[in-house]
Amino acid sequence: MLNKSIMDGDNPDLTEERMKGAFDTDKMAAVIYGSEKFAIRRREITESISRIPQLADSKPFSFMTREEKISESCRKLSVLSEHWNQLIDTNNEEEALHLYREVLGLEGHAFSLHETMFIPSLVAQANDEQQEKWLGRAKRREIIGCYAQTEMGHGTNLRALETTATYYPSTQEFILHTPTETALKWWPGALGKSSNYAVVVADLVIRDTHYGAHPFMVQLRDEKTHNPLPGITVGDIGPKMAFNGADNGFLGFNQYKLPRDHMLMRHSRVEENGTYTKPPHAKIGYSSMVKVRSRMAMDQGLFMVSALVIAVRYSAVRRQGFLDDKSREVKVLDYQTQQHRLFPSIARAYAFIFCGFETIQLYDQLLIDVKNGDTSGMSDLHALTSGLKSVVTHQTGEGIEQARMACGGHGYSMASYISEIYGVAIGGCTYEGENMVMLLQLARYLVKSVELVKTGKSKELGPMMNYLAEPDTQIDLTSGPEAYVKVFQHAARRQVWKATDKFHQLMESGQSRDIAWNNSAVELTRASRLHTRLYIMETFIRRVSSISDVSIKKVLIDLVNVHVNYEVLDIGTYALEHVSSTQLDSIRSQLYSSLDTLRPNAVSLIDSFQISDMQLRSVLGRRDGHVYTNLFEWAKASPLNQTHVLPSVNQYLKPMMDKAKL
Ligand SMILES: CCCCC/C=C\C/C=C\C/C=C\C/C=C\CCCC(=O)SCCNC(=O)CCNC(=O)[C@H](O)C(C)(C)COP(=O)(O)OP(=O)(O)OC[C@H]1O[C@@H](n2cnc3c(N)ncnc32)[C@H](O)[C@@H]1OP(=O)(O)O
Ligand SMILES: Cc1cc2nc3c(=O)[nH]c(=O)nc-3n(C[C@H](O)[C@H](O)[C@H](O)COP(=O)(O)OP(=O)(O)OC[C@H]3O[C@@H](n4cnc5c(N)ncnc54)[C@H](O)[C@@H]3O)c2cc1C
C-alpha cells in the first residue's frame, strides 16, 4: 500500500484519494523528518502513547476552561514521568519534542520553556561547574525552569532592560532588583505558576558600571512548598489570544540576594573581587534566542501542516456544487480556487521544514564552534535565522488563515481547531524578536554585504551572499526551477542595492545614521524578505535534487513547480523588472497546470507528515474522514447541551418572555 493511512471503515472519499497517491507515505515521512530512523521512531512513539490510556485527553480540549487545560496537562506530565525512559531516548531533543506535541499539543504547558530555552541556556551559558550543579537536575525534571528576559516596558530593546543585578564584593553576592513597574518581567512562558527556577536576564552592574544584559540562574520558589521565596513577586499575566495552557508570567525582585556563582559564567565572568571578564563575542549571551529562532522554520512548518492536514482532508470529503457530472456534487478539492488556496502552502510547509533541518544543524555546529572558541559563525546564523523566523511566521499565519477559510463554516468552529493553531502560530511573529525588528537585523547584514561589494571586498561575503556581487543576466524561464531562482536573485539583489543606496544617499544628504536608517526601513525590510525567500527556494530545490527515490522525487518536483511559479507571481511587482508581463502570463498558466498535476497526490502529501488524531485535536481533520458524524458527536458533548434548559433561561429569558405575554 503506497499510502499507509488507508484503514477499513474510513470515509470512501478519503480512501479513494489515498489509493490515488503515487508514492509511499512512509518513504516521504523519512524525507520530511530527515531520516528513516527518526520517521520510524516517531511512529513507534505515537503507537506506544496510544497504549497508555491515561495519556488521552479526558475530554475535548475545546470545551475546557483555562484552569482545566492547565490541570489536564499537569496530570499528563505526571503520567509521562512514569513512562519517560521507555517512550523516548531522553537525550534526543527531536524525540522529546515529538512526545510533547503528541501528548500535550500546542496550547502550552508547565514544561513549554523548560526544554526549549531553560535547558539550552544552561547548555550554552553555564560553565562546567554550573552544569554539573543544575543541568542534571533540570534534565531529570527535579526542577522546572523558564527563560525570563522580556519586561513590561521592554522586550525588543534588550539594552534598555531595567532589572538590575548589582554585584557586591563585600558579600560576594548579586542583588537582583526591579526598580520600577515597567521593569517587571512580563511574558515568560511557564513562569507564572509552574516554574521554580528561571534563567533571568538582567543588567549587570559592578561599582556603578552597567555591563548590560547577562543571564543568571535564579530560584523563584521553595522546592518543598512551591511558595515564592521572600523578595520574589510572581504570577500569571492572564488569558491570551491563544496558548492558554501556558502560564506566561510576571516576576519582580525586591533586593533579592543571589550568590556570585549564580551568574552563568561560561563566557563572561565576575571574580570574587568584582573584576569583570567580557565574553569573546558581545552577543554571545543571546544564544538561547538564536537557538529558538533556528528551530522556528521547522516548528512553524509543522503548525502550517496541521492546518493543512485538516483543510485538505476536509476538502476531499466536502462535496458542494457541480462540475461536468450533474449527478453528484464534487469534492471541493477539485475546484481550482481551492487548490490555489491550499497547494502553495503545502509547498511552503515542505520548504520550511527542509530549511528548519538546515538551521537546526547550523545551530548545533555553532554551539560546538563557540565551545572551541570560534565565534565567527555567529553573525551569519543570526542574520539567517532573523530573516527566516520573520518570513516563515508571517507566511504560516497567512497559510493557516487560508486553510480555515477553505473549510467554509466548519473552519470557524473550534471543531476544526484551526483557530487555536492560528493563534499559537502567529505568536511566533512576535516572540523571539518582533518580525519587523528581526527583518531589520538581517538588513544590517545585507547592507554590510553591499558595502563589501562596493569596496571591492566581495571575497569576504558570507554564505548565500555571492549573488549580490553578480551582474544581471538574461533569464531563460524554460530552463526549469533554477531559472526561477535567478528571477529571485535578480529581484533580491536589486532591492538590497536599492535600499542600501537609499540609506547611503540619506546619510550623504546630512541625515544621521539612525534617522537615515529609519527613513529607509520599509525598503530594507522588503530587501530582507526577498533575500530570505530566495534562501527558502534554494534550500527547497537543493533538498529535492538530492533525493534518489524516483516516485518521491517526482512528486516533490511537482511541489517545487507549484512553489516556484507561485512565489515568482507573488513577487510580481519586483519580478517585473526582469520578467516581461507576457512571461508572467506564461508562469500563471504553468502554475495552474502544476496545481492540476499535484491534485491526485494532495491527500498523500499531507498524510505523509503522519500527524496523529491525538496531536491534531481536530474533529474536522480526523484521519477517518467521517466529518459529519464526528461533528455531531462533538457538538452533543458541548457543556451547553448537558441540560435542555439552561439556568440562565429560567432566570432571565423565561421571566422576560412571560412578562411580555401579560
Ligand atoms: C521553540 C519551540 C519548540 C517547541 C515546538 C513545539 C511546540 C511549539 C508550541 C509553542 C511554542 C512553545 C514555546 C515557545 C514559545 C515562546 C518562546 C518565546 C521566548 C521568547 O520570546 S524569549 C525573548 C526573546 N526576545 C527577543 O528576541 C528580543 C529581540 N531583541 C534582540 O534580539 C536584540 O535586542 C536586537 C538583536 C534587536 C538588538 O540587540 P542589541 O541592541 O544588543 O544589538 P546592537 O544594536 O548593539 O548590535 C547589533 C549588532 O549585534 C549583532 N547581533 C545582534 N544579535 C546577535 C546575535 N544573536 N548573534 C550575533 N550577532 C548579533 C547584529 O548583527 C549587529 O551587528 P552589526 O553591528 O555588525 O550589524
Ligand atoms: C506567546 C509569547 C510568548 C513569549 N514568551 C517569552 C518568554 O518565554 N520569555 C521572554 O522573555 N519573553 C517572552 N515573550 C516576549 C516576546 O519575546 C516579546 O514580546 C517580543 O520580543 C517583542 O517585544 P515587545 O513586546 O517589546 O514588542 P515591541 O518592541 O514593543 O513592539 C511594538 C512595535 O514596535 C516596533 N518596534 C520596536 N522596536 C523597533 C525598532 N527598533 N525598529 C522598528 N520598529 C520597532 C515593532 O516592530 C512593533 O511593531 C513572549 C511573547 C509572546 C507573545
Instruction: Note the pLDDT tens digit of each residue in 520-539.
Output: 999 999 999 999 999 999 99
Q: Residue 472 in 3-state DSSP? A: coil
In this model, does residue 300 exceed pLDDT 80? Answer: yes
Report which ligand 1 atom has the smallest distance to the Cα of 284.
58
Query: Which residue in 72, 95, 162, 432 is the catalytic one?
Result: 432
Average pLDDT over residues 158-164: 97
What are the tens digits of pLDDT across the range 162-180? 999 999 999 999 999 999 9
Report which ligand 2 atom has the smallest distance to the Cα of 185.
11
Please say whether the beta carbons of 216 and 258 come within 8 A: yes
What pLDDT, on a 0 to 100 scale, did the predictor assign at position 216? 98
Does residue 223 fall inside a structural domain?
A: yes
Please indicate, yes or no, whether the overall pTM of this predicted structure exceeds 0.95: yes
List the grid coordinates of 496.
538590497
Distance 147 CA to ligand 2 centre (A): 14
What are the tens digits of pLDDT across the range 646-660? 999 999 999 999 999
Q: Categorize the per-residue pLDDT at 112 as very low, low, confident or very high, splitting at 50, 70 and 90.
A: very high
Q: How far is it, in rounded angstroms, from Cα 150 to Cα 117?
A: 13
Binding residues for FAD: 150, 189
Give the length of the chain. 662
What pLDDT, on a 0 to 100 scale, did the predictor assign at position 81? 94
Question: Is the CB–ligand 1 distance for residue 156 below 6 Å?
Answer: yes
Ligand located closest to 363 CA: 1
Q: Residue 234 in 3-state DSSP? A: strand
What pLDDT, on a 0 to 100 scale, did the predictor assign at position 480? 87
Q: Categorize the per-residue pLDDT at 274 as very low, low, confident or very high, splitting at 50, 70 and 90.
A: very high
What pLDDT, on a 0 to 100 scale, did the predictor assign at position 477? 85
Question: Is the CB–ligand 1 distance for residue 436 below 6 Å?
Answer: no
- Determine which residue's CA is closest to atom 17 belonging to ligand 1: 431
Q: How far is it, in rounded angstroms, from Cα 191 to Cα 117?
A: 12
Question: Is the CB–ligand 2 distance for residue 93 below 6 Å?
Answer: no
Q: Residue 432 in 3-state DSSP? A: coil
In this model, does residue 578 exceed pLDDT 90? Answer: no
In this model, does residue 380 exceed pLDDT 90? Answer: yes
The complex's ipTM works out to 0.97
Distance 433 CA to ligand 1 centre (A): 5
Closest to 127 in 3D by CA, of 215, 201, 259, 223: 215
In this model, does residue 425 exceed pLDDT 80? Answer: yes
Average pLDDT over residues 4-25: 97
Does residue 623 fall inside a structural domain?
A: no
The range of the structural domain enclosing residue 260 comes to 144-279
In this model, does residue 515 exceed pLDDT 90? Answer: yes
Q: Categorize the per-residue pLDDT at 202 as very low, low, confident or very high, splitting at 50, 70 and 90.
A: very high
Does residue 575 fall inside a structural domain?
A: no
Does residue 250 fall inside a structural domain?
A: yes
Residue 172, CA distances (Å) to 208, 245, 437 in order: 16, 39, 38
What pLDDT, on a 0 to 100 scale, did the predictor assign at position 476? 86
Please say whether the beta carbons of 338 and 406 come within 8 A: yes
Distance 435 CA to ligand 1 centre (A): 10
In this model, does residue 460 exceed pLDDT 90? Answer: yes
In this model, does residue 79 exceed pLDDT 80? Answer: yes
Average pLDDT over residues 619-634: 98
- Determine which residue's CA is closest to atom 9 belonging to ligand 2: 188
Question: Is the CB–ligand 1 distance for residue 240 below 6 Å?
Answer: no
Does residue 127 fall inside a structural domain?
A: no
Does residue 267 fall inside a structural domain?
A: yes
For the chain, what is the mean pLDDT? Answer: 97
What pLDDT, on a 0 to 100 scale, did the predictor assign at position 224? 98
Distance 432 CA to ligand 2 centre (A): 7
Percent of the chain with pLDDT over 90: 97
In this model, does residue 1 exceed pLDDT 80? Answer: no
Please say whether the beta carbons of 615 and 102 come within 8 A: yes
Residue from 283, 353, 431 whose mutation best tests the ligand 1 pocket (most atoms within 8 A of CB): 283
Residue type, 300: Q
Ligand located closest to 366 CA: 1
Q: Categorize the per-residue pLDDT at 606 as very low, low, confident or very high, splitting at 50, 70 and 90.
A: very high
Average pLDDT over residues 363-390: 96
What are the tens digits of pLDDT across the range 315-366? 999 999 999 999 999 999 999 999 999 999 999 999 999 999 999 999 999 9
Helix (H) or strand (E) holding 629: helix 627-636
Which spans in 222-335 are helix H?
Answer: 287-317
Q: How many domains does the chain have?
A: 1
Closest to 496 in 3D by CA, of 447, 566, 534, 550: 447
Closest to 605 in 3D by CA, of 551, 536, 540: 551
List the grid coordinates of 122.
544552561
What pLDDT, on a 0 to 100 scale, did the predictor assign at position 577? 82
Does residue 242 fall inside a structural domain?
A: yes
What pLDDT, on a 0 to 100 scale, did the predictor assign at position 381? 97
Catalytic site includes residue 432: yes
Please say whether the beta carbons of 119 and 143 come within 8 A: no
- Determine which residue's CA is closest to atom 40 belonging to ligand 2: 437
The CATH code of the domain that includes 247 is: 2.40.110.10
Q: Categorize the per-residue pLDDT at 543 as very low, low, confident or very high, splitting at 50, 70 and 90.
A: very high
Does residue 262 fall inside a structural domain?
A: yes
Question: Is the CB–ligand 2 distance for residue 286 below 6 Å?
Answer: no
